[in-house]
Structure formats: structure tokens, C-alpha cells
Amino acid sequence: MSALDTALHGLRALIADGALRPGDRLPSEGELCERLGVSRGSLREAIRMLAALGVLETRHGSGSYVGELRAADLIGSLSLTVGLLPMAGVLELTELRRVLEPHAAALAAARIDSDTVAVLDGILAEIEASDDVEEHSRLDHIFHMTISEVAGNDALRSLIEVLRSRSRAYRIPDADDAAELKRNSDAGHRAILRGLAAADPVAASTAASSHVAATEYWVRLYTEDAAAAD
């Protein structure tokens, strides 16, 4: 185990074991180095890494503190690395979305109100009327994240947002295929909304599963084509 790994493991253990709780200030560098058996350089690098992940918060002139350790925030930090995934990774993310987004839709169907249904209907009207790819992507994201928000589980919402963040960058290069994808996507959105409006978790979940499956089909097709071309 490297010195950096030792420092990381030691800090994580102090937090996981409850020796350091959310909001606590970390002991001095000297004390931590002696306690963990690492150099100041390794300790500082470990603190920087945990700060980037939202585990620690460094305050200028005051020191480092344990963050709030909210599940949603820690999951959200995964976007730093998920955004680097190649197309094969996007396919794996889409497969995960097939599990999570139907669950979120089912939860939302049991909790949604008429005002939110109206908001979602307005978003879909804008999506259906637009041929702008970037605008479509933006509105599509708002539609799905609104559903995730209504589902009422912050960790689930954060994870779906992370998974969708990389998928949003994917574009279908063929114009005819892109047009077919949009038609299917528009229809899929409407099916999800019907399930939500009817407060029917099964219908909403089934529609969401079919919707993501359609996206997965195109991602898989172009991933396989790209692999064959190589």
C-alpha cells in the first residue's frame, strides 16, 4: 500500500468509525501524520482528494473539516469521473438507468400533484415543438430530473443525474436515425406522463423502462458499429 493509500485509508477510517463526525475540524497535520504514520505531503494529497469528493471541506486560514456527508452530495461527486467514460461506458450507464428510472417513476406516480403534471406537460409540448438538438437535450433533462425530484429520494435523484450527465453528451450522427429516435422519445415521454397523471406506479414504471430501453438500443447499435469500424 502506498503512503497516499495509507493516508486515505486512515482518514476514511476515522470518519467511518465516527472518530471524526460531520462538521468536525481535522486534528493538526502533525498529529494526523503521527497517528496515521504518513508524511505531510501524503496527508495533504489525501485531504485534497477527499475534498474534491465532497468528504472534506478546506477553509482558508481555518483548516479542514468533515463535510455534511449527505448521500446525494457524495454520489453527485461521481460526475467528475463519469463524464470521462467512452461510449462503451455510456452503454453500461444506460443499463443502470433501466433499473433506476422506472423505480423513480413509480415513486413519483404515487406522490405527484396536478400542478407538477401540468408543468411536465408544458415541458413535453416544448420538446415536441423543437428541432434544436441542444434545446431538446436540456428540456429532456429537466423532464426526467423533475420526475426524480418528485420521487422524494435525494440519493436516487443524485445517482440518476450522474448517470444521465454522460448520456446527455451522446449524439446520433445519422439524421434519419436521430429523427426516429426523437419520435420514439416523444412518444415515450407521453406514456410516462400518462402513468404519472393517472397516479399509476406500474404504468409509469413500465413506460420509463421502455423509454430507457429505446435509448439503450441506439447507444448499443452505434457502440457496436464503432467497435466494428475499429
Burial 24-59, CB ≥16 within 10 A → b, else e: eebbeeeebbeebebeeebbbbbbeebeebbbbbee
Say how far apart CA 225 and CA 109 lie, in whole Å: 37
Q: Tell me if the domain spanning 74-229 has CATH number 3.30.70.260.
A: no
Q: What is the largest CA-CA distance in the chain?
A: 64
pLDDT for residue 45: 95
Lowest mean pLDDT: which of 25-39, 108-122, 146-160, 172-186? Answer: 172-186
Q: What is the mean pLDDT of residues 2-29?
A: 94
62: confidence class by pLDDT, cuts 50, 70, 90: confident
Q: What is the mean pLDDT of residues 73-96?
A: 81
Alpha helix positions (H), the chain: 3-16, 29-36, 40-52, 71-76, 79-82, 87-111, 114-129, 133-151, 154-167, 175-197, 201-229
Give yes or no for residue 168 having a pLDDT over 70: no
pLDDT for residue 157: 96
Give yes or no for residue 145 having a pLDDT over 80: yes
Q: Which fold has domain 3-69?
A: Arc Repressor Mutant, subunit A (1.10.10)
Domain ranges of the chain: 3-69, 74-229
Strand (E) or helix (H) holding 65: strand 63-66
pTM for this prediction: 0.80
More confident residue, 169 or 27: 27
118: confidence class by pLDDT, cuts 50, 70, 90: very high
pLDDT for residue 187: 96
Portion of the chain with pLDDT greater than 90, in percent: 64
226: confidence class by pLDDT, cuts 50, 70, 90: low
Lowest mean pLDDT: which of 22-26, 130-134, 167-171, 219-223? Answer: 167-171
With cell 393517472, the residue in question is: 198
CA nearest neighbour of 136 among 201, 79, 203, 215: 215
Q: What is the mean pLDDT of residues 186-211?
A: 97
Q: What is the mean pLDDT of residues 116-137?
A: 94
pLDDT for residue 230: 54
Helix, strand, or coil here: 58? strand
Decide whether 3-69 matches 74-229 in CATH topology: no
